[in-house]
Amino acid sequence: LMKILLGVFIPLIIIIIILILLFVFRRRIPCLRALFTYKLPKTSTDLPPPIPIENFAANLKELSDKNGFHDLSQEMALLTITEVEDKYRLTKVAALQNGSRNRHNDMVPYDQSMVLVGRPWSTVLKDQEPRITVREVEKGYINASYVRRSEYGRRGEVLVSPFTTLPEYIAAQDPLESTVADFLTMVCEQRCPLIIMLSGHEEGGTEKCAQYWPGKETQTFTSENYSVVVRKESEESSGNVISRQLSIHPLGETSPWTVTQYQFMDWADHDVPDMESFYNLVIIHNKFLAKHHMGNEYGPTVVHCSNGAGKTGTFMVACFLLDRLRKNQQNVDIVGTVLATRKWRANLVQSWAQLQFLYNFIDFCIVRENLSGKSVTIRLPAASARKKKIPVIPFAF
């Protein structure tokens, strides 16, 4: 009789415990504390190894001659699903539940790396793996992701950074009219010193980005949950970059937050930018951040474009690769860096043309900065005519 009772009650008790746990955690979004590893998963697919700098020009020429970038980009897209999203169990629950706040519903943040309005930078510094409730998401969701810099092994191969590494960037979609106040509040809460805007307001008659700064001096922006007053302190143009100084004062805060914005005007949709102009943007970005170190005082840099993936990913990966190349002139791992960066946001470096642009960018930097290796010039797959080269942009920092 005792065995019968135990056989009945023990399973019943287990079921009750499971139901209680489900009830307690029913409003939690999945977190990946134990499931993340620090290294890109091994795959059965033959990915290109890190490229020795002395072989880079020849590798670039071979890929270009054989239409290899198109095939390589498709292979990387498949690996993003099978070897990044699936293996790391990345989810997009929050984005699917807040579709009205996405400019593009096919380009959304992973739950595990999304930025939340209402969770300030000081909190991020203390806990990079928070338990996030549905209620927090309902109020604070924004289409933006924390992006961490990749690490590298002894042979130059890419290692995915752990969550304990502070995110250097926030990759975001261009705000909608209804989310401008959310976007600006995020900039203040995350203590972002710099915004890199890679789109125009309109392209081809289609709105790409709601203007989130005043046309004159001061303007108030309001959304469902937030209200901010923005003052444009200054605006100047040099080459293909417009520099603005904005003072953002969220409702209820005692003091405003000042942020610098660089709007890059030389990057049409479905195209690649002029190489010299793009390089100069990277340089002024680096010079600015050299005086605004990330830590308690300053948080990540915001980079945004229409969908927060193609141009945004290309810019961030280019910055990562150039910095790595300056520190290690032995080899460069472009494919690995792109895949590792996609761990934090899907579809970064979206097209094969953008992938080829990154290869050309590294080739350009090898020559421009007098690094080791022999360069070869490959015609970029651009839809528009190239503008003449523009000197380094002389903004003050």
Identify the pLDDT of residue 388: 44
For position 201, what pLDDT does the model report? 78
Q: How far is 271 from 254, CA to CA, in rounded Å?
A: 43
Inform me whether the pLDDT recorded for 35 exceeds 50.
no
What does the pLDDT look like over 148-191, one tens digit per residue?
999 988 888 888 888 789 999 999 999 999 999 999 999 999 99
41 has a pLDDT exceeding 70:
no
Domains of the chain: 13-368 (3.90.190.10)
- Tokens encoding 375: 């360069």
Task: Express each pLDDT in 228-282 by its tens digit.
Answer: 999 999 999 999 999 999 999 999 999 999 999 999 998 988 789 999 999 999 9
Residue range 288-300: average pLDDT?
A: 96
* Maximal C-alpha separation, the chain: 91
Q: Which two tokens stand for residue 52?
A: 């020795």
Give the Cα separation of 333 and 324 in Å (integer). 9
| Residue 194, SS3 per DSSP | strand
Name the token pair of 366: 């090898």
Average pLDDT over the chain, rounded to an integer: 85
Scanning the structure block, which residue is given the tokens 């991020």? Answer: 124
* Average pLDDT, integer, range 15-22: 68
pTM: predicted TM-score of the whole model, two decimal places: 0.84
Q: What is the pLDDT of residue 217?
A: 87
Mean pLDDT, residues 16-45: 49
What are the C-alpha distances in Å from 368 to residues 138, 240, 288?
48, 20, 20
